[in-house]
Amino acid sequence: MDFLTHSLLPLPEVRDFQQRLCAPDLPWRDGRLTAGDQAALVKTNQQLDPNAELTIAICNRITTALTSDPLVKSFSLVRKVHSLLVSRSNVGDSYGWHVDNPFSRHGRRDLSFTCFLSDEDTYEGGSLLIQAGGEDTKEFRLPPGHIVLYPSSTLHCVKTVVRGVRYVCVGWIESYVKAPDDRSILFNIDAGARGLLARHGRSDELDLIFQSYTNAVRRLSY
């Protein structure tokens, strides 16, 4: 599985962030400042100053949630969450097709994520499109507090916002396992083994599966 969508933050916390994001005096910056040379040509949005108190609060909360959530940990084999940004897209803003840079100064970018912070009925447009292979494209527009994770090597874009304001937090994960195919195999083994454990309980055979999974992670990790 190349993509994971998941409910990450409880709604009351998101509501608090929503209220604070509407404050009139927040230090928003041109989003092109954090884009690569090519991506900057197709990017129009704003990003909250990384040193702002609200940026730090949102990014720390999402980092904590990502590194403690069992499903996210199984899917991405998180080594490090880094380079988080809080983004605002107004009417007319978009982000054309691009691929994320492989590294930032904080780490390798194996997985990208978008955590949606706006209610779906408060804006139109602004869907995240991800090229899934060939001409197949996945479209994501999720409820507040939900997240989508996907390989950073994929082409993706954000459609033009045509009504309202779209708030998201984006960032990257450095995984213990670089290759998406390897992570997908490991995720399926782990999910299958945990399902068997929940249904049938522990067994000697299941111990062998968990042993093989653990040693496969060890073998494939960098």
Can you tell me the mean pLDDT for 184-191? 97
Query: Tens digit of pLDDT for each residue in 115-145?
Result: 999 999 999 999 999 998 777 899 999 999 9
User: Could you give the angle at which helices 53-68 and 11-21 cross, rounded to 10 degrees?
Assistant: 160
Region 64-79: mean pLDDT is 98
pLDDT at 79 over 80: yes
Q: What pLDDT score does 1 carry?
A: 61
pLDDT tens, residue by residue, 23-47: 999 999 999 988 878 888 899 999 9
Of the candidates 146, 147, 127, which has an alpha carbon nearest to the alpha carbon of residue 138? 127
Mean pLDDT for 170-192 is 97
Provide CB contacts within 8 A for 168, sequence distance 6+.
86, 87, 89, 114, 115, 116, 117, 118
CB of 84 within 8 A of CB of 113? no
Separation of alpha carbons 179 and 6, rounded Å: 21
Strand, coil or helix: 57: helix
CATH number of 4-175: 2.60.120.620
pLDDT of residue 60: 98
CA distance linking residue 212 with residue 207, whole number of Å: 9
Within 8 A by CB and 6+ apart from 37, the residues are none
pLDDT of residue 116: 98
Statement: residue 49 has pLDDT above 90: yes
Share of the chain above pLDDT 70, in %: 100
Mean pLDDT of 90-97: 97
Q: Please provide the average confidence, as pLDDT, over all residues in the chain.
A: 96
Q: How far apart are CA 14 and CA 19, in angstroms?
A: 9
